[in-house]
Amino acid sequence: MSLTIILIAVAALIIILIVFTVMQQQKRAVQLEQRAEVSRLTVSIDETEDLLSRIANIPITKSLMMVLHNRIMETQKSIKSINGDNSLTPMINDRANLIQQIAKTFQSKGLDTFRLPNDDREVLQMVQVLKKLKGTINAEHKRGRTNPQVYTNEIKRIDLLQIRININSIIKRAKIAVEAKQTGSARTYLEKAIKTLKAINSEGDVFVGERLSEATKMLQSLDQVRIDRQEREKKAQDDKSSTDLDMLFQPKKKW
């Protein structure tokens, strides 16, 4: 009887040990998942802060500024809910106050204030920032944190900025082609730029008007160069024909 009790007790201890081990493993797994999630959220905050530090030369609206700062605040709240870190509370409150301040005082910048850098490296960096901004807005929209109208407007603005960068790049390549006397390539670039600019629905847009005028004048200049060349070639051919006729019908010399 005592042996049976001992065996039962040993079995119970083994079961308790197994249950305890499983619970410990589950606890560690949860902790690992929490740390991984906190790490991911922290990276999200860092990336958003980096975006905020790199948009000085981009015309940003009040709505987009609020989306970016709200993303940081909501992510901080998520981290706090995961690990119970109360040290985040003052940071969350400060961010909420900043969002209120932005709502009251921030002045949106119009697209007409946009100026493309002359340095190609800076242009590339700006393209990368716009791409990241678009990804961030899409992510916040999927989480239900953005108003549908705000989402639509901000995506459209970024698309227009990307078009402006593309147009400037095309016209720049056209100028390089003209200098290299590659008129065929220059014409292709300019025709593409003009077609794109005419398709943009932005009446009164200073940028569109200036670039459309610039590209049109450059194309007209190429057309005039071609016309002048053709006239010179025709005149040369006419002169050659006249010379040949004169030589044919001139009096033959008698020897």
Contact 102, 66 (CB under 8 A): yes
Q: Where would I find the H helices in the chain?
A: 2-53, 62-83, 88-105, 120-142, 148-179, 183-199, 206-249
Please state the rounded mean pLDDT for residues 162-176: 89
Residue located via tokens 């409150």: 93
Mean pLDDT (whole number) for 196-215: 80
Share of the chain above pLDDT 70, in %: 86
Residue with tokens 């700006």: 126
166-190 average pLDDT score:
88
- Residue 33 in this model has a pLDDT that exceeds 80: yes
> In the prediction, which pLDDT does 245 show?
47
* CB-based contact 104:68 (threshold 8 Å): no
**End-to-end Cα distance, the chain:** 153
pTM of the model as a whole: 0.75
Listed in sequence order, the residues at least 6 apart from 150 whose beta carbon sits closer than 8 Å to its beta carbon are: 63, 67
d(CA 219, CA 213): 10
